[in-house]
Structure formats: structure tokens, C-alpha cells
Amino acid sequence: MHLSLILTAISLAWSARLLLAGTIAPRRTAESWAWRWQRALGVFLFSPLLLSVTALAVLCMGTQGQMWGLPVGWIGYLLAVGFLAMTVALVVWSVWQGWRSLQAISTYPTLTLHNTSARLLQTPALFAAQIGFWRSQLVLSQGLLDTLTPTQLEAVITHELAHVHYGDTFWFFWLGCVRRVTGWLPYSETIWQELLLLRELRADSWAAQRVEPLVLAESLLEVVKAPLTNLALHCAAFGAIAPAHRLTERIDVLLSGSEPILVQSEIPWRWLLVTLLPLLTLAFHS
């Protein structure tokens, strides 16, 4: 019976992605930012949460007893244990990778620009990012300092301060872990890129209220010419959005003078409560 529950959860998770991912279509009006964020985050989290809750329910029921008159068995139980063990292992590995990055960053020289402390990365590439977990550190590259004007550099730093304001490195670390665990689900990368874009649009909007939007757009164009690759889960980089159409959307929003994008990192709990339904199966286990 456990195997049937696991297979049903996988089928529902897969089907939900196929049915809901098509609803994530860009809306370019300021009124839709909250809707767009909630929809993308909900679709991204629904399937992983459904699988995790089902695995937890199977783990709690164990290998003894019956459900609806049928034996529970070992196969589904082992699949549930394997999935949860893999999840924990990937999270631990991600935390360890993040800790190593922070240890490396701590060796970089420090500097202060526009009343903001930062670490200096010795590379000719143009790079600016908040790196860390809850308390992130600003990292700027030597190439960035050599290329951008003081006004452009201020705009980039202000953008990165927006990531601190919203706690983006913390929240996107956990979202990145979800992406790694369930990257085999359909449209995982598409939805992930949508979330990254919305994160950067929100930071751009926050910065544009404090610096000239045109200067911020010019700085973005400079940085994305030669971005660093293989960015970590705990990194919120200024030039993180590489695809041309997403870069175009960021530039368009900056230059349009639209209303501020006030989107919080909120989880759409209402309809994600549906993922708790597998726990009801505990009542039918004896």
C-alpha cells in the first residue's frame, strides 16, 4: 500500500507541474507582480511539498500493519526513506558548500565604498553579489571597480543592498535546495529562472527608488557582458539573469518608470495546505 501512495504522489506531482507551469506567463503591469510571484512560488513548491509530506506519512506509518485492509510492505517505505535521506544529504552538502565559500570570502581584503563594507575579489570579470546565508557579505570584483564609474558603482551597490533588505540569500538558498532535490520534475529550470528574474526585478525596483534608473540599467548592461558562471545557491548576483529576453525585461521595467515592485518573500500557504492531505492517510493505518 505504501508503494501505491508513493506512486500516486509522484503522478500528482508530475501532473501538477505539467498543468500549472503553463500559467506562468509574464505580465508586464505593476499590478501583477504579487500575482506573478505567488503563482511561480506556489507552482515551484507544490510538487516537492506533496512528495515530502507523502514520504513523511509513509515513514510515520512504518512497515507494520495494514491500510484499507491491504499490507503496507517494505518497498514504498524504503523509497520514502531514500527520498528523505537524499533531501537531508543535499541540504547538508549545500550548507557545507556555503560554509566553504564564506571561509574563502573571509580571506579577501575589505574595502568601504559609498558607506558600505565589501570584500574585494581579484578578478578582471565584472562581478557584484551578496554571498552568504542570513547575514550575507557584499563581494565586488576588481574588474567592476576598474570599469564602472562611481555613479554606476553606487547603483550596483544599492541594488545589492536590496537583496539584504529582502533577505534574498537566505530564502533563495532554501529554494535552491528544493530545486536540487526535485530538479527531475518538469519545468523546474523554467520556474527557477522565473523566480530569479522576479527577485532581480524587485531588487532593481528598490534600488531605482534611491538611484537613477537609467544609471542602474547602464550598469546592468556592463556587468552582463562577462558574468561569472556557476553561482552558488547562497549568492544573489547583480548580473544573475543571463538570457536575453529576461535581461530585456529588466531593462524595460527600469526605463518604464513603473510603480515600485512591492513583492514580499511570502509563501502562498493557502493552496499549499493541499500538500498536507497525505497526512490524513495516517488515520487509515492500523
pLDDT 10s digits, 233-260: 567 777 665 566 778 888 888 888 666 6
Amino acid identity of residue 84, one-letter, is L
Residues of the chain with pLDDT > 90, as a percent, come to 42
Give Cα separations from 188 to 75, 81, 191 (angstroms): 27, 23, 5
By the 8 A CB rule, do 281 and 53 touch?
no
Pairing of strands 116-121, 137-141: parallel
Pairing of strands 70-71, 110-113: unpaired
Amino acid identity of residue 125, one-letter, is A
First to last CA, the chain: 12
Axis-axis angle for helices 2-20, 75-105 (nearest 10):
50
Number of domains present in the structure of the chain:
1
The count of other CB atoms within 10 Å of the CB of residue 273 is: 10
pTM above 0.85? yes
Reported confidence tier of residue 213, pLDDT bands at 50, 70, 90:
very high
Distance between CA atoms of residues 195 and 60, nearest Å: 33
Reported confidence tier of residue 286, pLDDT bands at 50, 70, 90:
low
pLDDT number for residue 66: 67
**Owning domain of residue 252:** 2-284
Q: What's the rounded mean pLDDT across residues 121-138?
A: 89
**Between residues 68 and 17, the one the model is more confident about:** 17
Q: What's the rounded mean pLDDT across residues 107-111?
A: 94
By the 8 A CB rule, do 215 and 151 touch?
yes
Q: What's the rounded mean pLDDT across residues 73-78?
A: 80
